[in-house]
Structure 1
Amino acid sequence: MVGCETDRRRHLRVLITNLFVSRNSGTEVVVELLADGLRGAGHQTMVLAPTLGDMADRMRRRGHHVADRIAEIVEKPDIIHGQHLTPCLTALARFPDVPAVFSCHSAFFEIEAPMHHPQIRRWIAVDEACKAKCLSRGVPADRLDLIYNAVDLHRFKPRLPLPSRPARALLLTKNFEHQQAVREACSKSNIALDEVGPATERFSHQLEKDLPEYDIVFATARMALEAAAVGCSVVVCDARGFAGLLDTANMEAWRRMNLGVGLLTRPTTVENLMEAISRFDAGDAAKVCAYFREVADVSHFVQEHLKAYNQAIQAQTNTTADERSLATARWIEEIGVSVAPRRWAHIVKEVHGWQVSPDQTALVELLQSNTKTLESNVASLVELGEQVKAIGPEIAKPILDASASLDRVAQDSQARLHRIDDELSRLSNFVNEIKRLYNGMIPLFIRRMFLRVRRRG
C-alpha cells in the first residue's frame, strides 16, 4: 500500500485556480507554464478561472482541461494550487477534503494576499516582497516556500548578439501613464519603438518570436524576465515607477524582487529613461542573459512546486470537517459582496477600478467645491485674457514717449508677466485638481474605455 501511495503522489492530479486565463498577464503565464511543466512531468492538470479567452483555447488544444465553472471539474484533485482568493475559495468549497497550497504573486493586492484555511497547508511567494507580505499576514515561516518565476527556455531562445548601439525598442506594458515618456526618450535617442500589452490594445501570442527583433525592452516582472532570457537589454520600469537598466551588477538582487514593483523607487521620466538607454552595453546584456537562462529554467520551477505539493499532501492535520466549513464560511464573509466594507470591497476596486459605496454627502460637497473653484478660475481666465491683450499697448505707449525710462518699462513689463505667471500657476493647479477629481470619480475600466475610443477616433 505504501508503494501505491508513493506512486500516486508521483503522478498528481493538480487543480490550478486563477482569476483569468485570457490575455497572457503575469499570473496567467505562470498558470500556463506550470500546467505545461506538470503535464510534461507526467501529472494531470485542471485549471479553474472565471474569465477565459484565447489563451484558454490554446491550452485546451494542448490537452489541458480549462473550465470557468466548478461543476466542469468532475475529477477530484490530489492538490489544489490556489492563485487569487475568489477562485481558490470556490475550489476549497467544492473539494473540502483536498489539501491546498496558496501562491502569492503580489505584495500589494488583496486578491493575492494570503488568508488562513485548514486546507491550505503551504504557501508560495514569488519574490521577497511577497514573502514579507505572507509573513505579515501570519503565514508560518516553516510553511512558506520562495519560488522565483521561471522561463520556458525552449520557447524563449537566445537572440543573435546585440548591436553596439540600440536601434529598435519594445515597450511591454499593462498601464499607459508612462507611454509618452518612453516614446520621447526613444525618439531623442533615435530608437524606433513598438508597443505591446493591455494598455496599447495590441497583443502578441508569440512574444518568443517577437523579442529577438528588439535591442531594448521596457518592462517589469515576468515580461522583463523573458526579455532578459532572450538576450535583450532590459530597462525595468512601468507607470508605477522606474528601477533602471538590468545589468550584471544588480541582476541577482533584482531577481529576488521578481524585477517587479518593489524595485520601482524612482519616477519614470524621460531623463531617467535616457540615462538607462545611454548605459546600453551589448556584452553586459549577454552575461545577464546567460545568468537568467541558468537560474530560471522551468524544470527547476516545476520540481519546486511538486516538492511543495507533496509536503502539503503529507502534512499531518487534526482539523475536523466542521473546522474546515467554518473557515470557508469566514472566507465568504470576507470576500463575498455585502454591505459591510470588508476585503471584498478592496478586491472589487482592484479588479474593476470601482469606488465602492461612496459617501453621497461627501461626494456632493466635493462637486459643489469644485464647481465654485471652476467658476472662480473661469473668471480668472477671463481677467487674464484681458491683461494679456492690454500688455501690448501699455508697453508700447511708454516706448513711444521719448521721456519714458526704459528701465521703468522693463520693470513694469516684468511685474505684469509675474502676475500672469501666478495666474497660470493657479490655472495649472485647477487643472490638476480636476484631473484628481476625474480619476477619483470615474472607474478605471470606464477611463480605459474612453482612452480606447479616443485612440480609435
Structure 2
Amino acid sequence: MSSRSGTEIVTAELADELRIRGHEIVIYSLSCGKLAESLRFRGIVVVDKIHDVPFIPDVIHGHHNVTLAIALTHFPNTPSIFVCHDFDVWHDKAFLHPMIKKYVAVDKLCLKRLIIDNIPNDQCLIINNAVNTNKFVKKEKISPIPKKALLLSKSSIQHNVISKVCQINGLELDVIGSGFGNEIDNLNEVLKDYDIVFATARMAIEAASCGCCVIVCDHRGFAGILTTSNWTDWYAGNLGRSILIEDISETNLTNAIAQYSPNDVAKLTTQVRLDSDIKEKVDQYEQIYKEIISYQNSKSNDKQINLNVYQYNLSAFLEDFLPSYNHNKIWFDVSKKFLNLDSPELTILKSMNTKLDYLEQREIELGKDTNFIRKEVKHIKEDIDLIRQDTDLIRQDIGFLRLLTNILRKPYSWLKKIFNR
C-alpha cells in the first residue's frame, strides 16, 4: 500500500465499500506509504506487521501470494480467498492451501493462470474489476468533437506515437501515470476534462464509466476503440493483455480516433456503470465470505493445537525472506547474491575475501616461513576495510539520490510539459 498500482487501488476501494456495509476492516501490507496514510486518515487500519492486526479475522481476502502466506500462517484457522490480478507477475502465482477456499480471477486470462498453477476448477471463479460509481461520476456533457486526450500508463514507451497522432488530429494530449513520474490520487476528478483516454485495464474501465471515449492500448499493444458492441467481450478480458493483439501504430490510432461517436460513448457509459459497479462485485464477495465461514464453522475444531509461538516465528521469518516490494528486507540482499547482481565494489570485495581465505589456508600449510604471506594478508585486510567503507558511502549516496529524485520528479514533469509545448 505504497503507490497506486491496480491491486492497491482495488484493495482500497474494497475496504471503503466493506466498511460502509458495517464490516470491521484491517489491511495488512508489507510495504506501506502514501496510500496507506490516506486510508488511515479515512479511519481504516493499515498495518505492516501481521502481529499488529488487532483481532482474529473471520475471513482473509488475499491478493498477493507472499502477504497471504504470512496471514495464513499467523491465522491458521481463518478461511480465505486468493485473488489473481495478473497472468505472469510473480506475486500473483497461486498456491494450494487447505484454508484457501476460493480462488478469484479478475479476467479470463487470470483464470487460465489459476488452472496452470494447478488450482482445481471447482475452486475458481471470475469476478471482474469494479468501479466506485459514487466516486467516478458521469460527465454532464459529452463533446460532439474530441479536443482533449489523456494517456494513462505505467510506461512511456507508447507516448511518442500517441503524441504524434494526437497532434495530427488536433488533440491536446496530457499524460498521467508512473511511467511519466506523475501519479495522482484524484483521477476521478480529472477524467471529466477529457474526451479521449488512452488506457488499459482498470484505468480504462474507470475512464469509460465517466463518459470518456476509451482507446484501449499501452506499451504491450493495441486493441482499439471501446464501443457498446465489444464492451462485454473486452470487459471479460479486463480490457487488458488478452485483447492487445495489434501493434500500437499511427494507422491503428488514427482509425480509432476517427471512430469517435458521442452517441455510442453515452450508451456505453450507462452500460459500463451498470456492469462494473463495485456494489455488485462486493455483493459477490460477501456471498463468498458467508459460504466459506459457514463451511469452516461446520467443521470440528476439537483437536486444534496451540501454535502461537510457531506462528509468530514463522510469520516473522516469511516477512524477512519472501519477496516483496520492501527492498529493505533480507530477501533482497540474498536474491542479489544468488543472481550475481552485486555492485562492482561488492564483487571486488568478494574476490578479495576469496583470496584472503586462500592465503590464510596457505599460511597454515607452509608453517613458519610465511612472513611474506602475512604481509600480503595484512594488505588485503586493509584494502577490504577501505572498500567496505567506500561501499557504505556509495549506499548512502544512492539513498540520497533516490530521495532527491522523488522530490524533483514532479517539477521535472511540469517543466517537460511546458518546454514540449
TM-score range, shorter chain: 0.7 to 0.9
One-letter code aligned to 1:75? F
1:17-52, CA deviations, whole angstroms, 9 ceiling, x for partnerless residues? xxxx23322111111111111111111110011222
SS in 2 for 1:272: helix
Aligned to 1:140: 120
Aligned to 1:15: none
Counterparts of 2:150 and 2:230 in 1: how far apart (Å)? 22
Alignment partner of 1:295 is 2:307: no
Measured on the aligned residues, the alpha-carbon RMSD in Å equals 3.3
Summarize the Cα distance change of 1:250–1:42 in structure 2 as closer, same or farther, 3 Å threshold: same
1:375-410, CA deviations, whole angstroms, 9 ceiling, x for partnerless residues? xxxxxxxxxxxxxxxxxxxxxxxxxxxxxxxxxxxx
Q: Among residues 144, 148, 152, which one is paired with 1:168 in the alignment?
A: 148
Counterparts of 2:263 and 2:90 in 1: how far apart (Å)? 41
Counterparts of 2:300 and 2:168 in 1: how far apart (Å)? 65
Question: 1:307: how far off?
Answer: 1.1
Worse-superposed segment, 134-143 or 112-121: 134-143
Summarize the Cα distance change of 1:243–1:321 in structure 2 as closer, same or farther, 3 Å threshold: farther
Alignment partner of 1:229 is 2:229: no
Alignment partner of 1:191 is 2:171: yes
Aligned to 2:55: 75
Aligned to 1:252: 232
Aligned to 1:275: 255
Aligned to 1:107: 87
Aligned pairs (5 A) from 1:38-437:
38-315=18-295, 357-358=338-339
Counterparts of 1:130 and 1:186 in 2: how far apart (Å)? 33
SS in 2 for 1:217: strand
SS in 1 for 2:223: strand
1:103-143, CA deviations, whole angstroms, 9 ceiling, x for partnerless residues? 11111212102101111111111111111111222222222
Aligned to 1:36: 16
SS in 2 for 1:313: helix
1:152-184, CA deviations, whole angstroms, 9 ceiling, x for partnerless residues? 111111103322221000111111111111111
Worse-superposed segment, 218-227 or 273-282: 273-282
* CA contact 2:150–2:175 (8 Å) conserved in 1: yes
Question: 1:337: how far off?
Answer: 8.7
Summarize the Cα distance change of 1:124–1:318 in structure 2 as closer, same or farther, 3 Å threshold: farther
Counterparts of 1:108 and 1:246 in 2: how far apart (Å)? 25
Question: 1:344: how far off?
Answer: 5.7
* CA contact 1:185–1:270 (8 Å) conserved in 2: yes
Summarize the Cα distance change of 1:321–1:452 in structure 2 as closer, same or farther, 3 Å threshold: farther
* CA contact 2:204–2:216 (8 Å) conserved in 1: yes
SS in 2 for 1:315: helix
Aligned to 1:4: none
* CA contact 1:49–1:87 (8 Å) conserved in 2: yes
Summarize the Cα distance change of 1:246–1:355 in structure 2 as closer, same or farther, 3 Å threshold: farther
One-letter code aligned to 1:157? V
Percent identity over the alignment is 33
Counterparts of 2:118 and 2:51 in 1: how far apart (Å)? 32
Counterparts of 1:186 and 1:355 in 2: how far apart (Å)? 43
Counterparts of 1:54 and 1:263 in 2: how far apart (Å)? 32
1:225-269, CA deviations, whole angstroms, 9 ceiling, x for partnerless residues? 000000100011111111110011110000001111111111222
Counterparts of 2:188 and 2:319 in 1: how far apart (Å)? 39
Counterparts of 1:107 and 1:318 in 2: how far apart (Å)? 37
One-letter code aligned to 2:256? A
Summarize the Cα distance change of 1:31–1:359 in structure 2 as closer, same or farther, 3 Å threshold: closer
One-letter code aligned to 2:145? R
* CA contact 1:173–1:199 (8 Å) conserved in 2: yes
Aligned to 1:382: none
Counterparts of 2:46 and 2:339 in 1: how far apart (Å)? 37
SS in 2 for 1:44: coil
Counterparts of 2:184 and 2:229 in 1: how far apart (Å)? 31
Counterparts of 2:198 and 2:336 in 1: how far apart (Å)? 31
One-letter code aligned to 1:140? P
One-letter code aligned to 2:182? R
- How many pairs are equivalent? 339
1:323-381, CA deviations, whole angstroms, 9 ceiling, x for partnerless residues? x99xx9xx99xx8998xxxx969x99xx99x9884579xxxxxxxxxxxxxxxxxxxxx
Counterparts of 1:71 and 1:113 in 2: how far apart (Å)? 25
Counterparts of 1:336 and 1:152 in 2: how far apart (Å)? 32
Runs (5+) with no aligned partner, structure 1: 1-20, 361-445
One-letter code aligned to 2:193? E
SS in 1 for 2:25: strand
Counterparts of 1:188 and 1:25 in 2: how far apart (Å)? 32
SS in 1 for 2:90: coil
Question: 1:271: how far off?
Answer: 2.2
Counterparts of 1:156 and 1:336 in 2: how far apart (Å)? 35
Aligned to 1:420: none
